[in-house]
Amino acid sequence: MFICAQRWIWRRAVVLVGLACAISAKIMITQVDYVSNPDYLTMKVQINNETEGSTVDVDGNLYLDVEQGVFVNIDLDSKMDGEYMTMIGTSKELCNKDEAGMDPVVPLLNDELEKFGNLSFNCPYKKGFYRMQRFRMANDHMLVKMVPPGEYIVKMDLQHQRPNATTKVQVFKLSFFFEIS
């Protein structure tokens, strides 16, 4: 049981490390693709490729309060032999208090996110304007040090399941293509 729990934590850590590294000073983001559901939010993502690496700006306007049923799927793909292969994938209900305490990486990422704006992994999400400006992780951050050089894609898919609903609604999809050198 303990070994299984360690593997589960490690898998979550690797995926979130990949997400964090997608916006690191050591990384150049080559492309970003995103789409958002206009019934939930409008979103704009801008990549700033600077001499010391890429930073990310995100502006979003959430049109309704969301207090439960927020699901995220994250895949980290690595380019091997000319093709992208999924290294790891995870799914998580962000508003689930029981699961949140088991993930050691989310608090580390939240600390970094909050330095650059008002985005976070914490529920509830209240309607209003959310912004993150010039986000980057320091080269010496422990999450950045764990990812080897190469080409990657971090794909994030956020869905919402309204109370008493049987299906989930797509809120947004986001893909960062980046190179770590």
Q: HEC states along the chain?
A: CHHHHHHHHHHHHHHHHHHHHCCECCEEEEEEEEEECCCCEEEEEEEEEECCEEEEEEEEEECCCECCCEEEEEEEEEEECCEEEEEEEEEEECCCHHHHCCCCHHHHHHHHHCCCECCCCCCCECCEEEEEEEECECCCCHHHHCCCCEEEEEEEEEEECCCCCCCCEEEEEEEEEEEEC
pLDDT for residue 120 = 79
Kindly report the average pLDDT of the chain as a whole number: 78
Q: What is the mean pLDDT of residues 123-138?
A: 87
Q: How many CB atoms lie within 10 A of CB 86?
A: 11
Residues contacting residue 76 through CB under 8 Å, at least 6 positions apart: 14, 15, 18, 19, 86, 87, 88, 89, 152, 153, 154
**Where do the domains of the chain lie?**
28-180
> 2-45, pLDDT tens digit by residue?
444 444 444 444 444 444 444 433 678 888 899 999 999 999 99
Is this model's pTM higher than 0.85 or not? no
* Secondary-structure class of domain 28-180 per CATH: mainly beta
Q: Does 91 score more than 80 pLDDT? A: no
Comparing 62 with 10, which gets the higher pLDDT? 62
Please check the confidence at residue 105 and state whether its pLDDT lies above 50: yes
Find the mean pLDDT for residues 139-162: 81
